Amino acid sequence: MPDGAVCVAELQTAGRGRHGRAWTSPPRRNLMFSVVFKESSIPGPIATLIGALSTVQATRGVGDWIALKWPNDLVSESPDDGAVEKKVGGVLSETKTDRAGKPFLILGIGINVNSRLEDFPEEIRERVSTLSFLSGQVWNRNWLLAEILNRIEALWKSSEAIGAESIIDEARRNCSTLGKQVRLRIGDQVIEGEAVDLDPMGRLLLRDETGYVYPVELGEVVQARRIT
């Protein structure tokens, strides 16, 4: 598969998110695609941010706002205090090697676009949303795909040319996790602290109860609340 190749799925029955979780989608309603990068040195965490930010930029104007929930979820959150974040999509980057032993990166993005809430399993309906539900309109998925891909290309080239600083700055402005007291699950361990910033590598900077700030590279935000 050549560098820059895009693979789009119209139906997904065995998609995979972080921690091996399943991601399924009914036919012809949502947007699920992967982009192959063979000639890039951009690390996975920055690639994930690029994918998330490209989607945030392409969907601006939705009734509620779409934001990045660190490290790789796309969520809708009303600006009202105490609002519940609902998952709209997710980004997954993976590094693999080809038959010649050369590494390449796959950036995968899944977005709930035109699904109905009844399409989701009942046990998760209160925790998910779709672009159609939020905006009250049916989205043109081809247009949305083109918009996201154009932004991925622009952000990717910028990161390769001048570094990831502008990507991190944009991620800070669009990250719903920052400024909240969060509980993170890292494997079997659960840690808590205030999410204060992102570092130049895209890691979450967490301040613990002693005031010590340290970077977290991997984890899952299982609970977050605004700091009053």
pLDDT, tens only, 113-167: 999 988 888 888 889 999 999 888 999 999 999 999 999 999 999 999 999 999 9
Q: Residue 16: its pLDDT value, please?
A: 54
Which domains, and CATH codes, for the chain? 6-173 (3.30.930.10), 180-226 (2.30.30.100)
What is the DSSP secondary-structure string of 26-81? -TTTSEEEEEEESS----HHHHHHHHHHHHHHHTTT-SSEEEEETTTEEEEE-SST
pTM of the model: 0.89
Q: Are 191 and 206 in contact (CB under 8 A)?
A: yes
Q: What is the mean pLDDT of residues 23-46?
A: 88
User: How distant, in Å, are the alpha carbons of 83, 96, 97, 217 from that of 103?
Assistant: 41, 5, 4, 21
* Secondary structure of residue 16 in the 3-state scheme: strand
